[in-house]
Chains A and B, each alone.
Chain A
Amino acid sequence: MLKTIAHRVAILCFIAFSLFPLFWLLKVSVTPNDLLYSEGVRLWPSRVTLDHFSFVLANSEFPRFFGNSLIVSGTTAVCTTILAALMGYALSRFRFRGKLWLAGLLLVTQMFPLVMLVAPIFKILAPLGLTNSLAGLIVVYTAFNVPFASFLMQGFFDGIPPDLEEAAMIDGADRFTAFRQIILPLGLPGIAATLGFVFTAAWSEMIFALMLISGNDKATFPVGLLSFVSKFSVDYGQMMAAGVLALIPACLFFLMIQRYLVQGMTAGAVKG
């Protein structure tokens, strides 16, 4: 009995620790400015307001940052998932020379220090006109996310029995048709999980966004929020309202995919 209580209390402590910072973000974002300091340490303000949200949405550049981030993260997620689906299918279904070597190559990229690649990537993209452009960010994010996404997709394809596509190929369909018409529809949950994972990762990325983007009109959310913070007078309520808005897409996607992600990780852990 005592053990059970201790267990539940410990779980509650972890939940509180996980959620408290997010709760505080929400609390400050709905606190009216005149109460911000006088009720600074109260757990919930005596009055709430949505003014910060409406101001951020109507009078700041955040809608543009939000739009840029949506374009970059959405396109990255789609491109990465398409490439990763092809790669994951090859890793899952073909036996060919160099396959192990290929998987090792993908694994090695996960150990690259990002800080070492930032400068050369800037130098390569600059003459191509891909710095300060959303397309440049999309290319870079796709490359950085595709190795892990490929392993995820491989894990999901491994779970689909090969009999179905073999039957289709005996009936005269070539492999790519079988892949498109049989494997892809069956792999939809995996595809959704990969889309969500990549979207969240691209939505969070900051270092490349800071390095490659210089103008406000191309800034993604992290860059916009940081430039907002470093400005002279800081309006905490508005900043946190923007923060809450930035959180929404990432958390929605995460809650959608968390089950599949743990599944994919377990599958990957068993293999490697």
Chain B
Amino acid sequence: MSDSVLHHVAPDRYRRPLRQRVASVIEPWLYCAPVLVIIVAVMFVPLVLGVSYAFRDIQLLNPFSGGFVGLDHFRALGQDDAFFRALRNTLWWTGASVFLQLGFGLILALLLNVPFAGRGLAQALVFLPWAVPTFLAGLNWAWLFNPVIGPLPHWMTALGLMDEPSNILADPSIAMWGPIIAAVWWGIPFFAITLLAALQSIPKDLYEAASIDGASPWQQFRSITLPFLAPVIAITVLLRTVWVANFADLIIVMTNGGPADRTQTVASYIFTQAFKRLDFGYASAVALVLLALLLAYSMVILVLRQRLSDRDK
């Protein structure tokens, strides 16, 4: 498509400087145009609409809905106990998932940063969970926790962690651990890949100099590795937190918010409101609140990161 335009312009190029200049201004945008069009149409327009829905009465099956309701959804939200429970669950789910993913991801990256025979194969194998479709990861872990066909309840009983083999996904007090473990399993590779890339960019002579000066491995880790990794960790944790907080797949597949709403997060709550009750207005209001909270969180992290790097200088 841009081909024909360029052919048309080309012959005049040397005779008409103005036309040439216009063409060279337009040219990059011709390459960007298809992406811009689809992103604006499928992401930005819906985002604006989604914000507007939060102030309107939008119910899919109700033809009389669609009116402007002002802040009604937000007032209802203030009295919605299910929402506040979901908010607490989201904190727990996001905090635990990201913290464990980061911890194990960092350990794995450090392990893989040491050269050993078969490292390429080991790397491909430990990164494999990342390729597993999330719905399948969720189903798979739900099956593993199932005492009928899964081994985990039996193992936990044998270890004395459980009185009898039962499904932790059915126990309200610990059900959240199910999706968290699945999320950690699925998310470790992401942290490990990012942190491994960062580790490999640390200049090797720093370590050599440190060991000549007699620094212990722990001292080297604290004064060389951690400061180098800190900015990468900050940005990865930030992106990951936003992503995990918004991520509903595993919960929908494994528990669907149950038992007794104990695993209902804000993201899965929004999905339930939109998908099961077809109440798009209310769902959008909840989503807007989640978006605001995540933006506030991102600002805090970015400011903290700025402070830290200022202090270093």
List A residues at the B interface (Cβ < 8 Å): 7-8, 10-11, 14-15, 17-19, 21-22, 24-25, 28, 36-37, 40-41, 83-84, 86-87, 89-90, 94, 96, 99, 102, 105-106, 109-124, 139-140, 142-144, 146-147, 150, 174-177, 200, 203-204, 206-207, 210-211, 221-222, 225-226, 229, 236, 239-240, 243, 246-247, 250-251, 253-255, 258, 261-262, 265-266, 269-270
Asked if B220 is an interface residue, CB under 8 A from chain A, the answer is no
Residue of B at shortest CB range from A244? B136
The interface residues of chain A lying within 8 Å CB-to-CB of B267 are 113, 115
Instruction: Tell me the bound Cα distance from A235 to B252 in angstroms.
Output: 20
Q: How far is the CB of B108 from chain A (nearest CB, A)?
A: 6
Instruction: Tell me the bound Cα distance from A150 to B36 in angstroms.
Output: 11
Given A94-B28, A99-B28, A116-B287, A175-B107 contact (CB < 8 Å):
no
The interface residues of chain B lying within 8 Å CB-to-CB of A146 are 35, 38-39
A251/B42 in contact, CB under 8 A = no
Q: Residue-by-residue, is B122-160 near A (CB-CB < 8 Å gives 1, otherwise 0)? A: 101111111111111101110110001111001100000
Asked if B216 is an interface residue, CB under 8 A from chain A, the answer is no
Instruction: Tell me the bound Cα distance from A24 to B139 in angstroms.
Output: 12
Q: How far is the CB of A104 from chain B (nearest CB, A)?
A: 12
Residue of A at shortest CB range from B146? A236
Q: How far is the CB of A116 from chain B (nearest CB, A)?
A: 4
A174/B7 in contact, CB under 8 A = yes
B198/A269 in contact, CB under 8 A = yes
Given A99-B28, A175-B27, A206-B135, A41-B34 contact (CB < 8 Å):
no
Residue of B at shortest CB range from A146? B35
B35/A115 in contact, CB under 8 A = no
Among B68-76, B91-99, B242-250, the stretch in contact with A: B242-250
Q: Which of A7, A22, A87 contacts B114 (CB 8 A)?
A: A7
Residue of A at shortest CB range from B282? A119
Asked if B2 is an interface residue, CB under 8 A from chain A, the answer is yes
The interface residues of chain A lying within 8 Å CB-to-CB of B140 are 21-22, 24-25, 243
A246/B136 in contact, CB under 8 A = yes
The interface residues of chain A lying within 8 Å CB-to-CB of B104 are 14
B42/A7 in contact, CB under 8 A = no
For the residues of A in contact with B, the DSSP-based class is helix
Given A146-B38, A206-B249, A262-B197, A24-B46 contact (CB < 8 Å):
no
The interface residues of chain B lying within 8 Å CB-to-CB of A206 are 133-135, 249, 252-253
Residue of B at shortest CB range from A12? B122
Q: How far is the CB of A261 from chain B (nearest CB, A)?
A: 8
The interface residues of chain A lying within 8 Å CB-to-CB of B106 are none
B133/A203 in contact, CB under 8 A = yes
Instruction: Tell me the bound Cα distance from A153 to B252 in angstroms.
Output: 33
B284/A236 in contact, CB under 8 A = no
Asked if B185 is an interface residue, CB under 8 A from chain A, the answer is yes
A117/B43 in contact, CB under 8 A = yes
Q: How far is the CB of B10 from chain A (nearest CB, A)?
A: 5
Asked if B166 is an interface residue, CB under 8 A from chain A, the answer is no
Q: Which of A8, A116, A140, A247 contacts B136 (CB 8 A)?
A: A247
A139/B111 in contact, CB under 8 A = no
The interface residues of chain B lying within 8 Å CB-to-CB of A96 are 25, 28-29
B274/A118 in contact, CB under 8 A = yes
A22/B128 in contact, CB under 8 A = yes
Residue of A at shortest CB range from B122? A11
Residue of B at shortest CB range from A236? B149
B154/A269 in contact, CB under 8 A = no
Given A41-B151, A119-B283, A174-B10, A112-B141 contact (CB < 8 Å):
no
The interface residues of chain A lying within 8 Å CB-to-CB of B62 are none
Residue of A at shortest CB range from B44? A109
A255/B124 in contact, CB under 8 A = yes
Q: How far is the CB of B104 from chain A (nearest CB, A)?
A: 8
